Amino acid sequence: MASLEQYQELVGAMQNLTAEVQALRTENVALRQQVVLHRDDHGDFPALPLSFGKYDGLPGGLKEFSDACKVYFAFRPHAYEKARSRVGFIIANLTSNALSWATLLVTSNDHFLNDYDHFVELFKERFDRPKVFYSSLEAILDVKQGNTMSKLIFPASRD
């Protein structure tokens, strides 16, 4: 049987653990609120909802997507003051071919991820192609691999 002194030690230890658990709960609530609000280190307002769609790499939407990103960065200067944050935002809003291209940069930890201006230059070089280029590529694919392959790469919904 435990002595009164041992029992009091256990009660004291339980009280300390209870206080620590309560402090962790309070900290957890505060952290959850920050995550929900998407606040940055400077206490800016919650992130603005995207009013533009994600970019898939097909011709016709790159300029609009780039302009919308620039406006978004202008309204959240503290959140996107670092080049890597801006590049990350752009990559997070890519889909399809554009996301596949960016994934290669991320998996290789390419130095362009830390240089916004060069990333945008590389991005435009890859995806800012006139429609004529895609029409020519479609024609080549039709000749070499049949119409099915070009429809997979260039769905009819593109502009």
Whether 75 contacts 84, CB under 8 Å: no
Residue 136: what pLDDT? 59
Same domain for 28 and 84?
A: no
- Give the single-character DSSP code of 94: B
Q: How many CA atoms are closer than 13 Å to the CA of 118, on its beta-carbon side?
A: 8
In a domain, 52, yes or no: no
Residue 130: what pLDDT? 60
Quick one: tokens of 8?
A: 């009091």
Whether 21 contacts 13, CB under 8 Å: no
The C-alpha atoms of residue 101 and residue 23 are separated, in whole angstroms, by 45
Same domain for 69 and 113?
A: yes
Count H helices and E strands in the chain, helices first.
7, 0
In a domain, 55, yes or no: no
Residue 134: what pLDDT? 52
In a domain, 156, yes or no: no
Residue 29: what pLDDT? 75
In a domain, 15, yes or no: yes
Residue 120: what pLDDT? 94
The number of domains in the chain is: 2
In a domain, 6, yes or no: yes
| Each residue's pLDDT expressed in tens, for the chain with a length of 159 residues | 678 888 899 899 999 999 998 888 888 777 766 554 444 455 554 455 556 678 898 877 888 899 889 888 888 888 888 999 999 999 989 989 899 999 998 999 888 899 999 999 999 988 887 654 555 556 666 665 555 444 445 455 444
In a domain, 154, yes or no: no
Q: What is the dihedral of CA 89, 93, 94, 96, to 10 degrees?
A: 150
Closest CA relative to residue 116, chosen from 54, 159, 73, 56: 73
DSSP letter for each residue of 104-119? HHHHTT-GGGG-HHHH
Q: How many CA atoms are closer than 13 Å to the CA of 133, on its beta-carbon side?
A: 9
- Domain with 102, as residue range(s), is 62-128
